[in-house]
Amino acid sequence: MNKNNIYLFSALLISLQLQASPDLDNAMANPNNWAHARGQHNNQGYSQLSQINTKNVKNLKLAWTFSTGVNRGHEGAPLVIDGVMYVHTAFPNNIYALDLNNDQKIIWSYFPKQDPSVQAVMCCDNVNRGLAFGDGKIYLQQNNGILVALNAKTGEVVWQTQVTDPKTGATNTNAPMVVKDKVLTGCAGGEFGVRCFMAAYYLKDGALAWKAYSTGPDAEVLIGADFNQDNPQYNALSVYEDVNGGNKQGGSFKSLALDKIKINEPELGVRTWLKPQQEKDGWQHGGGAVTGYFGFDPKTNLVYYGTGNPGVWNPDVRPGDNKWASSVFARDVDTGMAKWAMQTTPHDEWDYDATNEVILFEQKDKQGKNQTYATQVNKNGFIYTWQANNGSLIAAEKVHPFVNWATSVDLKTGVPYKFNPYPRHTTSVHFGEVSGFVIPSNLGAKGVQPAAFSPKNNVLYFPLNLDGLMYDVDSKGRRPGQPWASGDNYAGTTWAVLDLTAMGKIVAYNMVKHTVDWELKERNPISGILSTSSTVLFYGTLDRWFKAIDGDSGKLLWKFQVGSGVIGNPFTYKVKGKQYVGVYSALGGGAGVTMEIQRSYPIHDFGATYGGYGKLPKFNATPSGGILQVFSL
């Protein structure tokens, strides 16, 4: 074989390797399937199916149910691929493959053997957000850090690899995502002082392709010379006048003017963790969890995701902006190198994170050209929209006027103008001091339950939490595998509901006008949302209702009472010409865990004061019990 033929053969091998999951591409191209955790790589939570519409949705009936046999919260949604449904559960993360053409007969099942002690180092319930498919395999990211690839037809283990180590406090709750020849996964453990990351493994054998940390040296965060090339101002050494970030009494959170910011600085994952840190080199325990639903744009070849709060909640012991925690990243999926990133909450004091899903959509820009945009409804209460290819910030609007920790976001720098609504307190929280009432709470204006987008009307539908937060902090030192949230003896948080008649709300946000089309109040917090081409939206609530509403008006069209609170994501599919829609019910997540604490310890501060989530038992919520409910006309 001559040299030219060798080059051609090598190029062909590389090309075939990079397109190693055509079965996933084919599965996602078929609207009868639900082949990705959020339907498609764009995270829109949207289905082209329209057999169920605004006229006939009132006739939906329960078609079949499946008990998972597992308690605790069930997040995410099953996968449906060519007549087979893959069901996952909370810990211990059992999987069932069901034959939808044969009365849901169990084709195979997989029962991981996980040490029960893993549950003790998991934040916010023992959830698992879903599965991934590609290259003939089903991928499960177990809570104990093991990523396993199973033969999609038989359930046999093809390979497995250890991603995180629970003994250090690092676990996993995310749904993995298959892109090209890789499966992407993350890391949880920000409340345990873990330094988290995103990692990519080859579909063929589970070998590590790349690993990008959320904090630390540029070489380990996979930041190169062209990072934030179009927006060097995001690479700022400090964005506030006081480098202590207000951590000292009288400290200032006043944003620096752009001409005063040191921009395009290197090694920010180390240099923005200023001395003194409670732990030596605080970035080594910097948090930055990667737990959400990942998005991918084939046009840019970029994967989009967010990182969690900086390690230790107490901001006094980690001065500085604390990059790159609480940031949104776009990375080249082949190499892992960061194309752009923007920190949404510098020096995050309230566990606001940036881990919510990033949704990709197309829209004409001011020049009339089709442009891909990335949007995130952040926990901090702002809706961000970036130009997807370079990270230029197009818009940043409050989800609701009640957001009081910041007045606005600078569209050039991305820096929030922090605001203290209670003059007797500094905006930050100090050891031994209870904070002012901050909105939103650390559950987020929108939490992990994902939004949905309709490309038919360019409307983003998202669940909103109506609550605020007060919390006290201390400066307990870190012990590996032990919680490092540094709250008081009552976990440091007191959630207060703003309106007991409406703890949740669905907002229809017009992404062209950047205005609210309509809002719908719910007495209880809301699950993930499904949008369909017939303009019917589906969602669930913590008080056991599964509902359908008109996406154009918010009008209630149908409801059904399921077995437990809903924190999962509705999904839809079609088999033998009939459309089905389904959802998990099993109370859990942050609110569900709080409710269970309240049952046993009614005076516990964790959510009790001012009628917070401890009131859920009175609102028809029930203990967990995993059930999949599926409906059809």
Q: For position 543, what pLDDT does the model report?
A: 87
User: pLDDT band at residue 242, thresholds of 50, 70 and 90?
Assistant: low
Most confident of 58-67, 422-431, 471-480: 58-67
User: pLDDT band at residue 376, thresholds of 50, 70 and 90?
Assistant: very high
pLDDT higher than threshold 90 for residue 615:
no
User: pLDDT band at residue 258, thresholds of 50, 70 and 90?
Assistant: confident
Q: For position 633, what pLDDT does the model report?
A: 98
Question: What is the C-alpha to C-alpha distance for residues 583 and 486, in angstroms, rounded to an integer?
Answer: 36
Give the mean model confidence (pLDDT) for residues 434-456. Answer: 86
Q: What's the half-sphere exposure (Cβ side, CA atoms, 13 Å) at 104?
A: 12
Q: For position 272, what pLDDT does the model report?
A: 93
Q: For position 322, what pLDDT does the model report?
A: 94
Give the mean model confidence (pLDDT) for residues 133-140. Answer: 98
Weakest-pLDDT range from 182-191, 286-295, 427-436? 427-436
Q: For position 437, what pLDDT does the model report?
A: 72
- Region of 114 on the Ramachandran plot (φ > 0 left; ψ -120 to 50 alpha; else beta): beta
Q: For position 496, what pLDDT does the model report?
A: 64
The DSSP bridge pattern shows strands 327-332 and 338-343 to be antiparallel
Weakest-pLDDT range from 13-17, 240-244, 305-309? 13-17
**Between vectors from CA 123 to CA 465 and to CA 354, what angle results, nearest 5°?**
55
Question: What is the C-alpha to C-alpha distance for residues 141 and 162, in angstroms, rounded to an integer?
Answer: 10
Residue 420, both tokens = 């203290």
Q: For position 433, what pLDDT does the model report?
A: 45
User: pLDDT band at residue 425, thresholds of 50, 70 and 90?
Assistant: very low
User: pLDDT band at residue 318, thresholds of 50, 70 and 90?
Assistant: confident
Residues 236/265, Cβ–Cβ less than 8 Å: yes
Question: What is the C-alpha to C-alpha distance for residues 374 and 356, in angstroms, rounded to an integer?
Answer: 12
Q: Indicate the average pLDDT of the chain.
A: 87
Question: What is the C-alpha to C-alpha distance for residues 74 and 125, in angstroms, rounded to an integer?
Answer: 10
Residues 211/194, Cβ–Cβ less than 8 Å: no
Most confident of 205-219, 269-283, 301-315, 472-486: 205-219
Question: What is the C-alpha to C-alpha distance for residues 348 and 332, in angstroms, rounded to an integer?
Answer: 26
Residue 456, both tokens = 């038919």
Q: How far apart are the first and last CA of the chain?
A: 61
Q: For residue 408, how far is the Cα from the chain centroid?
A: 23
Residues in Cβ contact with 67 at an 8 Å cutoff, skipping those fewer than 6 apart: 625, 626, 627, 628
The closest alpha carbon to 455, from 531, 549, 377, belongs to 531
User: At residue 368, what is the residue type?
Assistant: G
CA dihedral (342, 344, 348, 351) in degrees, to 10, reads -120
Helix (H) or strand (E) holding 146: strand 146-151
Q: For position 617, what pLDDT does the model report?
A: 62
pLDDT higher than threshold 80 for residue 114:
yes
For the beta carbon of residue 1, count every other beta carbon within 10 angstroms: 7
Active site residues: 351
pLDDT digits (tens, 9 = 90+) for 582-613: 999 998 887 666 666 555 555 444 444 445 56
Q: For position 247, what pLDDT does the model report?
A: 47
User: At residue 7, what is the residue type?
Assistant: Y
Give the mean model confidence (pLDDT) for residues 228-236. Answer: 97
Q: For position 230, what pLDDT does the model report?
A: 98
pLDDT digits (tens, 9 = 90+) for 321-367: 999 999 999 999 999 999 999 999 999 988 899 999 999 999 988 88
Residues in Cβ contact with 585 at an 8 Å cutoff, skipping those fewer than 6 apart: 74, 540, 544, 546, 562, 563, 564, 565, 566, 568, 625, 626, 627, 629
Higher pLDDT, 502 or 59: 59
pLDDT digits (tens, 9 = 90+) for 5-50: 443 333 333 344 456 679 999 999 999 999 999 999 999 999 999 9
User: At residue 302, what is the residue type?
Assistant: L
Q: For position 342, what pLDDT does the model report?
A: 98
Give the mean model confidence (pLDDT) for residues 466-491. Answer: 58
Give the mean model confidence (pLDDT) for residues 404-425. Answer: 78
Q: What are phi and psi of 601, to 5 degrees?
A: -130, 80
| Per-residue exposure over 394-417, b if at least 16 CB sit within 10 Å of its own CB, e if not | bebbbbbebbbbbeebbeebbbbe
pLDDT higher than threshold 50 for residue 487:
no
Instruction: Tell me the whole-structure pTM to 2 decimals.
Output: 0.92
